[in-house]
Structure 1
């Protein structure tokens, strides 16, 4: 990016999980972030410093927005410092496009399990009819999505699914379903190790939304695990073939 950044990673620390996140939509590259804004005056419908975002992506030699897959980010993957961690540890490449979104009927809740590497309680996605919660959508290239597979433990803790729930992007467009990493059925059982368990936590009969309780309190919660995450999903086998953003809107 040729312009000065709007923020750097240090402005948004990753700990405690899930870290802090910028308001609105942004592109992160090289430890720096740049706000992007919706606009109907450019083909991609998104601008960076008044310029079509696709033009900026082309200068980096990467795919335009329309060729990317939307993947819901509801935990630490909206945190810029975590994105740089993915670059350093897992080889994530290229600008990461993060579009703000309002999710209808799906929420981030605290898991009954904890993370193996630091004992913090991770987020899992759960159904909660009637609730609207703000998260974000990564518009990913195939190699970026492969990095997310590794980070999320696809096949161990999480599975990649098409989640059937409306998601309204900050440019006003609505996805009737979205790709997301959700708990594997095997990770919803009571007999799995705590580091693999991704069942939603139930306290006093209710799921605990991440938006309501911070990590410092979440790690001390005592409850039981839900029997289901309440989501309507279709698991993706192998490589997702789409739809890309352009295919969703024609």
Structure 2
């Protein structure tokens, strides 16, 4: 299920009717790049066994951006997106309220620990859902290697909204040494409320 307007009681009612975990048992995960695409959810179901309703809400994100990474994806030769700080920038992404099982599927897909790290973003007031709410302790997948560092062209990252995939493949530049974000890397399973996250 994907919705941008349902309120929590209504959504929880729908989830209960379908025997699915309520929002209180789900953790918000920032979905950007291909993870915000409905077709990716279908691929995750068919390829990695994703189960249950996918609760994905549109979100307005301030101060961060999806940018093209320095390396290409081994599976299909495409240039993946990675997250980077972008002061003053506003982008539309999504927040996936994932069950622990769904998040572990995302871990596998993203290559957690090698290609991407699972992190808890700080200052998550930068992420606002369409109903005006601001989810706290939002998880995200941040680059974990030089291949998943932001590509710098002329010393600046290249936003995905500015350059399409075909054009991005032809870009050349250097790898950023930092994504500029403030977060805590999550080791193992996230705490239920993630309140113990400390910045790194």
Regarding TM over 0.5, the answer is yes
Q: Is the 8 Å Cα contact of residues 108 and 126 (structure 1) preserved in structure 2?
A: yes
C-alpha deviation, 1:129, in angstroms: 1.2
C-alpha deviation, 1:218, in angstroms: 0.4
Distance between the aligned counterparts of 2:150 and 2:4, measured in 1?
Answer: 33
Matched residue, 2:23: 65
Match of residue 175, structure 1, among 111, 135, 140 = 135
Q: Is the 8 Å Cα contact of residues 84 and 180 (structure 2) preserved in structure 1?
A: yes
Relative to its length, the structure with more helix (as a share) is 2
C-alpha deviation, 1:177, in angstroms: 4.2
Matched residue, 1:203: 153
Matched residue, 1:16: none
Aligned length: 192
C-alpha deviation, 1:149, in angstroms: 0.5
Supply the RMSD in Å over aligned alpha carbons: 1.5
Q: Is the 8 Å Cα contact of residues 167 and 177 (structure 1) preserved in structure 2?
A: no
Structure 1 stretches of 5 or more lacking a match? 1-26, 29-34, 46-51, 189-196, 245-250
Match of residue 121, structure 1, among 79, 83, 87 = 79
Matched residue, 2:162: 212
Matched residue, 1:101: 59
C-alpha deviation, 1:38, in angstroms: 3.9
- Deviation readout 1:131-166 (Å, 9 max, x if unpaired): 111100000111001100000000110010011232
Distance between the aligned counterparts of 1:67 and 1:142, measured in 2?
Answer: 8
Instruction: Report whether the alignment pairs 1:222 with 2:172.
Output: yes
C-alpha deviation, 1:66, in angstroms: 2.6
C-alpha deviation, 1:128, in angstroms: 1.1
Matched residue, 2:192: 242
SS at match of 2:5: strand
Match of residue 86, structure 1, among 16, 25, 44 = 44
Match of residue 107, structure 2, among 143, 149, 156 = 149
Structure 1's consecutive aligned runs of 4 or more residues displaced over 4 angstroms after TM superposition are none
Matched residue, 2:197: none
Cα distance, 1:124–1:36 mapped onto 2, change above 3 Å? closer
Matched residue, 1:162: 120
Matched residue, 1:37: 5
SS at match of 1:83: helix
The TM-score, its normalising length taken from structure 2, stands at 0.91
